[in-house]
Amino acid sequence: MLPLFHFVTMGAASSKALARHAVDWALGKKAEDVLVMDLREILDVTDFFVIATGFSETQVRAIADAIYDAAIEMGQKPLHMEGRSAGRWVLIDFVDVVVHVMLPEERDRYKLDRLWGDAPVVRFDDRGTEIGPSRSFLQGESDRKRPEGEVRNP
């Protein structure tokens, strides 16, 4: 019997691809300080955080909407999205990938990228080029793979 709340994962290759797409979609709306955190060895509830900064509530909403809409077009419906109406910090939860689009002051206050400081991080410039580490976990196949279809309990 499955638990009351369960979510089926998309597998490591798909979650990496979705994280990378989210970066591109955010950059398409001029997000800055975009990064991906690999949380697979730290958390059981998600594989990746994508964190991006928008400089107004309107821009934060536009970035979040672009990610949401493009993911839907790809067939990746988010579990939920919250914070859109306020536009200060929008969270889009795809289960294996959680996207955070934040104003600079929210990002400074909550410091998500420091909260899991031991997680591998890849940063991106405004063209989507990776800025370190030398071997990105978003490209390699040698990292731990979560089986597709694994049931995950939040």
DSSP assignment letter at 146: P
Measuring CA to CA, how many Å separate 50 from each of 1, 2, 9, 116, 141? 33, 29, 17, 13, 20
pLDDT of residue 108: 97
Instruction: Tell me the C-alpha distance between 31 and 86, whole Å.
Output: 17
Domain boundaries, given as residue ranges, for the chain: 13-123
pLDDT of residue 7: 42
Q: Which CATH architecture has domain 13-123?
A: 2-Layer Sandwich (3.30)
Measuring CA to CA, how many Å separate 96 from each of 119, 128, 153? 15, 21, 12
Q: Give the chain's mean pLDDT.
A: 85
Q: Looking at the whole model, is its pTM more than 0.85?
A: no
pLDDT of residue 117: 84
pLDDT exceeds 80 at position 1 = no
User: Which of 45, 80, 78, 51 is CA-nearest to residue 63?
Assistant: 51
pLDDT tens, position by position, 50-101 = 999 999 999 999 999 999 999 999 999 999 999 999 999 999 999 999 999 9
